[in-house]
Amino acid sequence: MSCKTPVICSLFLKKDSYQKKSSFSANEATVTNGNFNVIDYSESKVNQDTGMLDEIAKPDTWTSYAEKDELDVGIINVNNTALLNTLGFGDKNDVFNDWIDGFNTFRPVDFGAPNLGIIKTVGLSTTKAKLALKSTSMSLSTNSYYIFKAYAKSIGTVGEIYLTTTSTNSAPIVKEINTDGKWEEFVFVVETGLMSSATAYFEIYIGNKADADSTYSGTVLIDSFTYLTIDKTEYDTVAAAGNSSSFMTDAFETTSTSSTPTKPNNWTGTGTTSSGYVKTDTQVAGIFAKDYGDYAALGIRNAIVDDTATEEDETDTSIKAGTSLTKDEIFDNTGMEAGMTVGNSVLLINNLNPSYYNFKTSALTLSSNKYYEISIYVRTFMLEKDKSAKIFVTVGGESTYSFASVNTSTYDEEGVETRGDWTKYTYYFKTAESTSMSSVYLNLTLGENSDTGKLTGYALFDNVTLRTIDRAAFLTNYAKQYDLDEDGAAIIAEDGTKQKAATYDEFMLFNRTIRADDPEASVDPTPVEPTPEPTKPDTSYLWAYISSIAIAVVLVAVIIVVLIKRYRPSKKAGAAAPSYDKNKAAKKIKDKTSGDNTKDDYKD
């Protein structure tokens, strides 16, 4: 299910009943279940006379984590004064007594009546920080903006509201409840990215989750958990107040407590030994948890042949001393930009023996006539001087755009490594005006599946961000790669290639632009003049040519006759007369051609 403006979706995902509320959007509607009005009656005690709750009731569809003699968790009805008295309140007005910053001047104080959620330590008992309530999940669409709201107050203690996603490996969003007995509205906005739809849920803690040693005693009241799809303008307005967070960044966060790496959602893994995620003597690959990962399993293995050993035991494959990275070495934020941290998990590839491994996203589709950004942070350790990890994007199974030499360390002439920091690599996309860009995959690789491509070492990946950007942001970066004309297209040089910007070399170290509609026409530096079409002959003077030829032939004949008569030698005396008589011959020809002997070539 996904919410569509202007409807706020209940955390219980039921649509049968809702009441109008004034809030961020004029058309906002909140489903009643979001106000803890749905009770699990099979687990709750209801007064048969009044129909009200006589005790803290169990909420329907929320998961509660009450603990006997230590922590009460559930729903109370504020119209039951007797119940409120047992919980330390006077009456309903005592519950809705005050707001931080005078918020009640423009909001009804009984916003969630008649029911509220409550988390309360029992009597004088104390508890360590722990999860008390968890909502059902909410489905958030890709490339969307959401506003989330909740109302809470703490009395004598503190609490936390977590908004967590299980489908994008994003870090949870946390709001502390520390209001000193006053109600506060908690507002934050979320932008989802390209990877896939996100499934999110709320978690309510008593105490501070990160502080595992402190104990807490007191009460937390909560109400009206809602969320709403909004547009980018509304998102920017709220984000400007410092309330923004993002599910568009795949931070590879996990709630797993396993020492074995876990499979990242929306990624597939293939390698020398397994797929998805792996922990073997050859490779460790997957989401590695800061507080639970098996650091002793990491490193580079020896491959030393012992000539004195038996054939079965001639190779020492133990992990080399000093090659197992520590928690502090892996989870170091150096190089991360403001707002980015390594967090509590990281995507790790550790090739202990020469091998290869590749993580690939699920297929992405980039809509037509839009601008996108895909970025990722990378850090490498213990690669040989001339070895590297690789990041590449494939589009439609054909085009490949890669950073082929990803090695964040530097080396001296002898190959001794100096470790570097987290480094950000970014792709900027412009899709065609009428055609989407489909089957787009981001690949993260350490080693190649070939005899010479396998290698040892570490590659760490974190904070993959997939989001839409505007035209100005794209062109700002595109202009660092190529010189642009007034329309924002790359200028074509005389040799037919795109004209590189002065910042090209520096920009291309960590950035790539991919523009589907960029003109690729080449310009020939020495253009060839077009071959003219054949000219048809002009026959208007053909009669003159024929006449001239005839006259020339006659003149030549006359000249020949004259020359013959002039230079022919005279006859000798007594020479015999020729036997040919032209008069007789003429008479014979006349006889043959006269009469009925004429042939008719055009018969009917």
Tens digits of residue pLDDT in 318-335? 999 999 999 999 999 999
- The least confident of 5-9, 61-65, 118-122 is 5-9
Mean pLDDT of 286-304: 90
Mean pLDDT of 489-508: 95
Query: Across the strands, what pairs with 29?
Result: 7, 20
H/E run at residue 286: strand 283-289
Report residue 252 as tokens.
């590879």
Mean pLDDT of 368-391: 94
- The least confident of 6-15, 114-123, 395-404, 423-432 is 6-15
How far is 138 from 3, CA to CA, in rounded Å? 9
Q: What pLDDT does 43 receive?
A: 56
Residue 82 has pLDDT above 60, yes or no: yes
pLDDT band (50, 70, 90) for residue 397: confident
How far is 341 from 460, CA to CA, in rounded Å? 13
- The least confident of 47-61, 115-129, 334-348, 559-573 is 559-573
More confident residue, 7 or 577: 577
The full DSSP string for 264-281 is PTTEEEEESS-BSSEESS
Q: What pLDDT does 472 receive?
A: 95
Output DSSP code: residue 505.
Answer: H
Amino acid at 490: A
How far is 250 from 557, CA to CA, in rounded Å? 103
How far is 290 from 259, CA to CA, in rounded Å? 10
Q: What pLDDT does 109 receive?
A: 45
Domains, the chain, with CATH or none:
18-247 (2.60.120.260), 267-469 (2.60.120)
How far is 77 from 243, CA to CA, in rounded Å? 31
Query: Could you tell me what percentage of the chain is helix, strand and coil, using 3-state DSSP and rounding each to the nearest 5?
Result: 15, 35, 45
Report residue 291 as tokens.
């507080």
8 A C-beta contact, residue 164 and residue 203: yes
Report residue 235 as tokens.
């998102």
Mean pLDDT of 229-238: 83
Q: What pLDDT does 364 receive?
A: 86
- The least confident of 387-391, 456-460, 581-585 is 581-585
The residue among 145, 388, 177, 360 whose CA lies nearest residue 267 is 360
Q: What pLDDT does 166 receive?
A: 60
Q: What is the pLDDT of residues 28-74, one digit of tens each?
A: 333 334 557 666 655 555 555 555 566 888 888 888 898 888 999 98
Q: What pLDDT does 384 receive?
A: 94
Residue appearing with tokens 């995620």:
277
Mean pLDDT of 498-518: 92
User: What percent of the chain lies above the pLDDT cut of 90?
Assistant: 36
Q: What pLDDT does 567 receive?
A: 58
Mean pLDDT of 564-571: 57
More confident residue, 114 or 601: 114
Helix, strand, or coil (residue 545): helix
Spell out the residues 6+ positions from residue 128 whose beta carbon is closer than 8 angstroms to its own: 207, 212, 213, 214, 215, 216
Question: Largest Cα–Cα distance in the chain?
Answer: 174
Mean pLDDT of 107-124: 74
Residue 566 has pLDDT above 70, yes or no: no
Beta strands (DSSP E) in 447-565 are 455-469, 511-515
H/E run at residue 145: strand 145-155
Q: What pLDDT does 436 receive?
A: 87
More confident residue, 554 or 282: 282
Q: What pLDDT does 189 receive?
A: 80
Residue appearing with tokens 């001296």:
412
What mean pLDDT is reported for the chain? 76
Compute how many other C-beta atoms are within 10 angstroms of the C-beta atom of residue 339.
10
8 A C-beta contact, residue 393 and residue 441: yes
Q: What pLDDT does 118 receive?
A: 93
Q: What pLDDT does 308 receive?
A: 55
8 A C-beta contact, residue 285 and residue 261: yes
How far is 92 from 97, CA to CA, in rounded Å? 9
Residues shown for the chain: 604
| pTM of the entire predicted model | 0.61
Amino acid at 275: S
Q: What pLDDT does 518 receive?
A: 60
Beta strands (DSSP E) in 26-144 are 29-31, 63-64, 71-77, 115-121, 127-128, 130-134, 138-140
Query: Across the strands, what pairs with 183?
Result: 99
How far is 439 from 396, CA to CA, in rounded Å? 5
User: What percent of the chain lies above the pLDDT cut of 70?
Assistant: 68
Q: What pLDDT does 120 receive?
A: 94
8 A C-beta contact, residue 508 and residue 408: no
Q: What pLDDT does 433 receive?
A: 87
Residue appearing with tokens 């119209």:
79
Q: What pLDDT does 423 receive?
A: 97
Q: What pLDDT does 497 receive?
A: 93
H/E run at residue 85: helix 81-86
